[in-house]
Amino acid sequence: MGIALVTPSLLLSLLLSVAYAALFHLWWGRSLRHLLLLLFAAGVGFGVGQFVGTLVRIPALQIGEIHLIEATAGAWLALAIVHLATTPVARRTQRARG
């Protein structure tokens, strides 16, 4: 019997951050490179949100060691920041108009 390399908390965190990035890419995505950037941003944002949740210690909607609210908020915030940073202003206004 070997040591588990991936804990259930880490696996759930990875699955959620990939799902968030995929959903965001379906909504706003442009290319494969953009998807890779979104995957990275969602993972980093999820990790930062998890860290904030660990510091704050609010037990609301916690699954095991994962602070779901804070980690999800961190992932979506990071995705929004990357989207705003990589999308030209003209395209954002054009898409908002219809």
**Residue 14 covered by a domain:** no
* Ranges assigned E (strand) in 1-98: 62-63, 66-67
Higher per-residue pLDDT: 6 or 72: 72
Is 72 part of any domain?
yes
Q: What is the pLDDT, as a whole number, of residue 58? A: 81
Residue 75, in any domain of the structure = yes
Identify the residue with better confidence: 1 or 15.
15
Provide mean pLDDT across the span 45-71: 90
pLDDT greater at residue 60 or residue 69: 69
Domain extent at residue 28 = 20-97
Give the number of domains in the chain: 1
- What mean pLDDT is predicted for residues 3-26? 90
pLDDT for position 36: 94
pLDDT at 3: 64
Residue 25 lies in a domain: yes
Q: How far apart are CA 9 and CA 50, in angstroms?
A: 11
Asked whether residue 69 is domain-assigned, the answer is yes
What token pair was written down for 28? 């706003």
Position 7 in a domain: no
